[in-house]
Chains A and B, each alone.
Chain A
């Protein structure tokens, strides 16, 4: 049985962690112990924020739709209620994109659900 020195694996493991921590601030990119903690934490944040991303975007879409609704003389709340009543199942992502890339279409939609915009 050949002799196994542990330094080789340790060095390999350390190298991997330090590589993942490249670009971090201060000691976090150079010191193994600090880098190890930072890499573990970054993984936790990444996992959590992949879930939070869905909420963040929904909030952004709502903000944009709200702005477009107010330009059309109504409010977000009234608009969403009217969409439900008219049985239109466009989601907020599509609606916010419409408000930006197709303002005339958005105005037409406001008219279709019975919210008359002030000026076209």
Chain B
């Protein structure tokens, strides 16, 4: 018997909406990264992207708990000499909450081209609305159609 390996045709992508309100950023990102990677599905295959799409809403209401996580600096470089810039995590979360969450999830995905592909399935929004209702409905319809087709063939 050969171990199953997911084929592109076998992968059914769902859309998951997650409310970040009151959630600690890191704990939220762990769950999101798992869903993006597909580790919650029995068909998980390491070299394939078996994950679902994730939409995070209310990004600006995510929080840092504890004493000093919010003070921890984040670095970037302008590529000019002496161009290193740093801002604390807490400030980044206040000024650009969507980017702060995206960045945290990115760090928890594989650091390769497959990981980059998985990250594309993540959309982070401020506020409680998102423009992907049509995609969610489409995925539900596709699932219903697949279920109906499955019954027909049985």
The CA-CA distance from A70 to B43 in the complex, in Å, is: 13
Q: Are B39 and A67 in contact (CB under 8 A)?
A: yes
Closest approach, in angstroms, between the C-beta of A62 and any C-beta of chain B? 11
Is A57 part of the contact surface with B, judged by Cβ < 8 Å? yes
Is B103 part of the contact surface with A, judged by Cβ < 8 Å? no
Is B112 part of the contact surface with A, judged by Cβ < 8 Å? no
Q: Which of B3, B4, B40, B46 contacts A71 (CB 8 A)?
A: B40
- Known: A64-B44, A68-B42, A71-B40. Contact between A101 and B3, CB under 8 A? no
Is A99 part of the contact surface with B, judged by Cβ < 8 Å? yes
| B contact residues around A97 at 8 Å (CB) | 1, 3-4
The CA-CA distance from A30 to B51 in the complex, in Å, is: 41
| 1/0 contact string of A51-79 vs chain B (CB within 8 Å) | 00000010011011101101100000000
Interface residues of A, count at CB 8 A: 18
Closest approach, in angstroms, between the C-beta of A73 and any C-beta of chain B? 13
Q: Are A93 and B1 in contact (CB under 8 A)?
A: yes
Closest approach, in angstroms, between the C-beta of A49 and any C-beta of chain B? 15
Report the contact-size class of chain B (Cβ under 8 Å from the partner): 10 to 19
Within 4-42 of B, Cβ neighbours of A (below 8 Å) are at: 4, 39-42
Closest approach, in angstroms, between the C-beta of A38 and any C-beta of chain B? 23
Is A81 part of the contact surface with B, judged by Cβ < 8 Å? no
Q: Are B1 and A67 in contact (CB under 8 A)?
A: no
| B contact residues around A99 at 8 Å (CB) | 42
Closest approach, in angstroms, between the C-beta of A92 and any C-beta of chain B? 10
| A contact residues around B4 at 8 Å (CB) | 96-97, 100-101
12 contacting pairs across A/B (C-beta < 8 A): A60-B3, A60-B44, A63-B39, A67-B39, A67-B40, A68-B42, A71-B42, A96-B3, A97-B1, A99-B42, A101-B4, A103-B42
Q: A67-B39, A67-B44, A96-B3 are in contact. List 11 more A-B contacts (CB 8 A).
A: A60-B3, A60-B44, A61-B3, A63-B39, A63-B44, A67-B40, A67-B42, A68-B42, A71-B42, A96-B4, A101-B4
